Amino acid sequence: MHTIDMKNRNVVLIVSALASMVEDEGKTPREAFQMLEDIKRDTWHALQQIHMEAKGK
């Protein structure tokens, strides 16, 4: 199991975005997590490409 590092700025941004979906947009926690899953699915290939380019492959 991974420990969430709340000192990591990127982690804080993700958690803040999820909280904002619930507090500001009125989504349920389930809806916010579904949105996160959709984002993960839709960005996977682009992030993989960025990773490969950063490694020079």
Over residues 1-57, the pLDDT tens digits come to: 789 999 999 999 999 999 999 999 999 999 999 999 999 999 999 999 999 999 986
Tell me, yes or no, if the pTM score tops 0.75.
yes
CA angle 49, 57, 9 (to 5 degrees): 50
**So what's the pLDDT on residue 41?**
97
**So what's the pLDDT on residue 57?**
65
- CB–CB of 31/38 below 8 Å? no
DSSP state, residue 24: T
Number of H helices, E strands in the chain: 2, 0
